[in-house]
């Protein structure tokens, strides 16, 4: 930073001071000249009248006029006039003052002659005296003219100097103030528009030069700051884009786990979603199972010259395998790899859980089918086998009556066995197209309603959230079995199904208004109640069959749902 050699404000202040000084000087001189010239006209008139009065005194002497004394006194008054006495001052030229004093002295010399009897002396000298007066008047008039000329010159010179200084100020302000300020305004607009590469080349060593240098430094600093901010914004934008891409990748990978069944294509899709990340060139998923068995999935284009990075796949200290990948430097998204590894580990765990669940369900259904076959078809076949042995014995003994009775029993048992087989097939073929319990129950009752003229009434207050899928199947099977029994045996005009949910338990009630089927389900070779009881045990519940006051039958299932909720919550946490 430098100090200005010539300050703009100082220059303008000096110019204003000079203009003021010239104005004061010119005005003061003019006022003084005019003030000093106030008595000039009177002095000239009085001096000019002295000539006439001198001749008049001479005439009065010649004619013996009675007004001589009066004219003499008037002459003396004119000689003593203030306008003439004002000539004797420091501004009056010395020659004019000398002539004025000489004139007074000459009058003093002639005055005694006028007051004596030698008045002829005055007449003899009056011509010279008047000539002396004429010279005095002429010089007095020249002095007055010189003062007026001086006044005019001072006015002209002052006005000229003031005009020159004013024009100089205008030119100086235009060049040194207005033009630089115009440049500053234009530069400010460019800075406002985002152009910081501005260099003002004023080159003046004044306040505006300092301001221009400061503006240049400010623009340079703003350019640096703006560039830094743009770089930071681009960097933050890149990080946000990268974070958004990572979140999209993680979301897509987690969405793959929402599939109903996880298989190899699911994990391949997860790896392909991860492969789109910048820098990744190849990914390999290696899953290790017991006894050295396992499987792996490769995506991308692996290179023999690149090193493989590795991340273990584990969940709750259980290791499932590892994830390998190759990258092209620079690559620093290891956190994404770690998060995707956790998702894959969770997916592998879900896959194993699904397989275990499917196996358990399959084993459970097979056990159910085996029990149903053992309790129904197998016992019927055993009974038929015994009856067939008895028939053979009767035929061997040629006991026709007994043979006919045995054959009839065999026929009846075959019909009953066929009926039981159809019921079992119908039971095992139950399909649930809707995951919502209420919708599934409605579809079930709609299909059963086509088999009877009885009115089926549904009152469901049990939500799907309270039931797992396999439990939902058991509840629907119990309702189906009870409604079928009511349709076949109760001869009812209305069958009501009510499902009520409490805080920790649920109850399902099937009531008919007919003769009931309570007696029918306890008959030999009828397995409806045993099927209902078995499925209730799977729900850890209890089934009761009672007659109603009107003669109908009521089947009520009660089972806890709090435990089901806890099991589901545990599965979700896993």
**Domain CATH for 292:** 3.30.450.40
Q: Per the confidence metrics, is the pTM higher than 0.85?
A: no
Using a 10 angstrom Cβ sphere, with 0-12 exposed, 13-18 middle and 19 or more buried, the burial of residue 324 is: middle
Range 253-272 average pLDDT: 80
Domain that holds residue 327: 250-349
Whether residue 106 is found in the same domain as residue 30: yes
Q: Among 175-184, 353-362, 435-444, 506-515, where is mean pLDDT lowest?
A: 353-362
Q: What is the mean pLDDT of residues 424-440?
A: 61
Does residue 366 lie within any of the structural domains?
Answer: no
Give a yes or no: residue 344 inside a domain.
yes
Question: Residue 551 corresponds to which tokens in the numbers above?
Answer: 């003669």
Q: How do residues 83-96 score in pLDDT, each as one tens digit?
A: 777 777 777 788 88
Q: Are residues 177 and 257 in the same domain?
A: no
* Residue 35 covered by a domain: yes
Angle at 307 between CA 305 and CA 312, to 5 degrees: 150
Q: Do residues 134 and 45 both lie within one domain?
A: yes
Residue 64 lies in a domain: yes
Asked which of 318, 334, 349 is the last residue of a domain, the reply is 349
- Is residue 393 scored above 80 in pLDDT? no
| 64 & 165 share domain | yes
Tell me if 325 is assigned to some domain.
yes
Nearest Cα to 84, choosing from 142, 145, 151, 140? 140
Burial (CB count within 10 angstroms: exposed 0-12, middle 13-18, buried 19+), residue 414 = middle
Please indicate, yes or no, whether residues 164 and 35 belong to a single structural domain of this protein. yes
Confidence of residue 525 (pLDDT cuts 50, 70, 90): very low
* Residue 539 neighbours by CB under 8 Å, 6+ apart: 471, 474, 475, 557, 559
Is residue 573 predicted with pLDDT exceeding 50? no
Whether residues 324 and 440 fall in one domain? no
**Run of H or E including 372:** helix 334-373
CA distance 440 to 473: 10
pLDDT (mean) for 545-572:
72
Which position has the higher pLDDT, 428 or 75?
75
What six digits make up the tokens of 465? 């959230």
Domain boundary among 319, 349, 379: 349
Average pLDDT on 73-92 reads: 80
**228 Cβ partners below 8 Å, 6+ apart?**
none
In the predicted structure, residue 562 carries a pLDDT above the cut 60: no
The answer on pLDDT for 396 being more than 80 is: no
For the ranges 64-68, 260-264, 370-374, which has the lowest average pLDDT? 370-374
Give the pLDDT of residue 35. 61
State residue 359's pLDDT score: 62
Check whether residue 438 and residue 344 sit in a common domain. no
Average pLDDT score over residue span 545-556: 85
* In-domain check, residue 418: no
Lowest mean pLDDT among 119-128, 230-239, 354-363, 561-570: 561-570
Residue 372 has pLDDT above 70, yes or no: no
Q: Do residue 22 and residue 160 come from a single domain? A: yes
Q: Please, what is the average pLDDT of the chain?
A: 77
pLDDT at 276 over 90: no
Percentage of the chain modeled with pLDDT above 90? 4
The answer on pLDDT for 523 being more than 50 is no
Q: End of a domain among 167, 184, 201? A: 184
Give the pLDDT of residue 519: 47
Least confident of 225-234, 467-476, 498-507: 467-476
Find the angle CA(511)-CA(516)-CA(517) to the nearest 5 degrees. 105
Assess if residue 375 is contained within a domain: no
Same domain for 305 and 164, yes or no, is: no
The reported pLDDT for the residue numbered 434 is: 52
Please say whether the beta carbons of 481 and 532 come within 8 A: yes
> Which has the higher per-residue pLDDT, 392 or 157?
157
- Both tokens assigned to 538: 């799977």
Give mean pLDDT, residues 462-479: 76
pLDDT in the model for residue 4: 46
* 327 in Cβ contact with 279 (< 8 Å): yes
What pLDDT is attached to residue 371? 64
pLDDT tens digits, residue range 5-26? Answer: 556 677 777 778 878 887 787 7
Among the ranges given (64-78, 178-192, 273-287, 463-477), the one the predictor scored with the smallest mean pLDDT:
463-477
What Rg do the C-alpha atoms of the chain give, in angstroms? 68
**Do 460 and 545 lie in a common domain?**
yes
| pLDDT in the model for residue 368 | 67
- pLDDT above 80 (res 388): no
CATH number at residue 520: 3.30.565.10
Task: Please count the structural domains in the chain.
Answer: 3
Residue 137 belongs to domain with CATH number? 1.20.120.960
Contacts of 100 (CB under 8 A, 6+ apart): 84, 87, 88, 136
Mean pLDDT of 145-171: 82
Q: Which residues lie across from 456 on neighbouring strands?
A: 495
Enter the DSSP assignment of 464.
Answer: G
Task: Return the pLDDT at 521.
Answer: 47
Residue 364 in this model has a pLDDT that exceeds 60:
yes
Q: Which residue did the predictor score with more confidence, 551 or 448?
A: 448
Instruction: Answer whether residue 572 shows pLDDT above 50.
Output: no
288 against 207, higher pLDDT: 288
Residue-level pLDDT at 430: 53
**Residue 242 forms part of a structural domain:** no
pLDDT in tens, 497-511: 999 988 788 899 999
Instruction: Round to whole Å and give the CA distance between 485 and 300.
Output: 61
Which of the residue ranges 13-17, 264-268, 299-303, 414-418 would you say has the lowest mean pLDDT? 414-418
For residue 558, pLDDT beyond 90: yes
């Amino acid at each position: 930073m430098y100090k200005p050699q010539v300050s703009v404000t100082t220059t303008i202040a000096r110019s204003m001071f000079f203009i003021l000084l010239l104005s004061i000087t010119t005005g003061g001189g003019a006022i003084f000249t005019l003030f000093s010239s106030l008595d000039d006209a009177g002095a000239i008139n009085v001096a000019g009248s002295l000539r006439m009065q001198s001749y008049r005194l001479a005439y009065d002497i010649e004619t013996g006029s009675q007004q001589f004394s009066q004219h003499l006194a008037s002459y003396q008054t004119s000689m003593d006039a203030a306008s003439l006495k004002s000539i004797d001052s420091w501004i009056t030229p010395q020659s004019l003052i000398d002539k004025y004093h000489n004139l007074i002295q000459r009058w003093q010399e002639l005055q005694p002659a006028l007051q004596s009897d030698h008045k002829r002396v005055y007449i003899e000298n009056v011509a010279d005296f008047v000539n002396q007066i004429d010279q005095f008047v002429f010089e007095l008039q020249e002095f007055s003219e010189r003062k007026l000329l001086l006044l005019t010159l001072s006015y002209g010179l002052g006005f000229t100097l003031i005009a020159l200084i004013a024009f100089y100020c205008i030119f100086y302000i235009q060049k040194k103030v207005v033009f630089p300020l115009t440049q500053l305004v234009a530069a400010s607009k460019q800075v406002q528009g985002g152009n910081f590469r501005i260099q003002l080349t004023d080159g003046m060593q004044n306040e505006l030069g300092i301001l221009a240098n400061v503006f240049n430094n400010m623009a340079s600093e703003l350019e640096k700051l703006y560039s830094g901010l743009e770089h930071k914004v681009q960097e933050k934008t890149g990080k946000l884009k990268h974070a958004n891409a990572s979140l999209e990748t993680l979301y897509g990978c987690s969405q793959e786990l929402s599939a109903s069944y996880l298989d190899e294509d699911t994990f391949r899709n997860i790896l392909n979603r991860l492969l789109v990340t910048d820098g990744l060139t190849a990914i390999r998923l290696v899953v290790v199972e017991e006894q050295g068995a396992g499987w792996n999935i490769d995506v991308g284009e692996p290179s023999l010259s690149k090193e493989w990075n590795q991340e273990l796949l584990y969940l709750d200290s259980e290791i499932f395998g590892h994830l390998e990948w190759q990258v092209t430097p620079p690559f620093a998204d290891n956190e994404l790899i770690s998060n995707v590894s956790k998702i894959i580990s969770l997916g592998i765990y879900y896959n194993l859980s699904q397989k275990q669940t499917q196996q358990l369900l399959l084993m459970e259904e097979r056990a159910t089918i085996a029990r149903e076959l053992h309790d129904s078809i197998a016992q019927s076949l055993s009974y038929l086998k015994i009856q067939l042995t008895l028939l053979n014995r009767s035929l061997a003994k040629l006991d026709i009556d007994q043979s006919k009775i045995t054959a009839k029993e065999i026929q009846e048992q075959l019909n009953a066995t066929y009926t039981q087989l159809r019921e079992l097939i119908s039971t095992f073929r139950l399909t649930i197209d809707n995951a919502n319990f209420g919708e599934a129950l409605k579809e079930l009752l709609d299909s059963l309603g086509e088999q009877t003229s009885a009115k089926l009434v549904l009152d469901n207050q049990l939500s799907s959230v309270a039931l797992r899928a396999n439990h939902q199947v058991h509840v629907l099977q119990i309702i189906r079995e009870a409604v079928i029994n009511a349709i076949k045996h109760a001869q009812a005009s209305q069958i009501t199904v009510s499902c009520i949910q409490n805080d920790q338990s649920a109850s399902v009630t099937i009531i008919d208004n007919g003769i009931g089927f309570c007696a029918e389900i306890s008959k030999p070779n009828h397995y409806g109640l045993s099927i209902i009881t078995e499925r209730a045990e799977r729900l850890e519940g209890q089934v009761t069959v009672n007659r109603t006051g009107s003669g109908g039958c009521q089947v009520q299932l009660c089972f806890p749902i709090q435990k089901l909720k806890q099991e589901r919550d545990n599965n979700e946490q896993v």
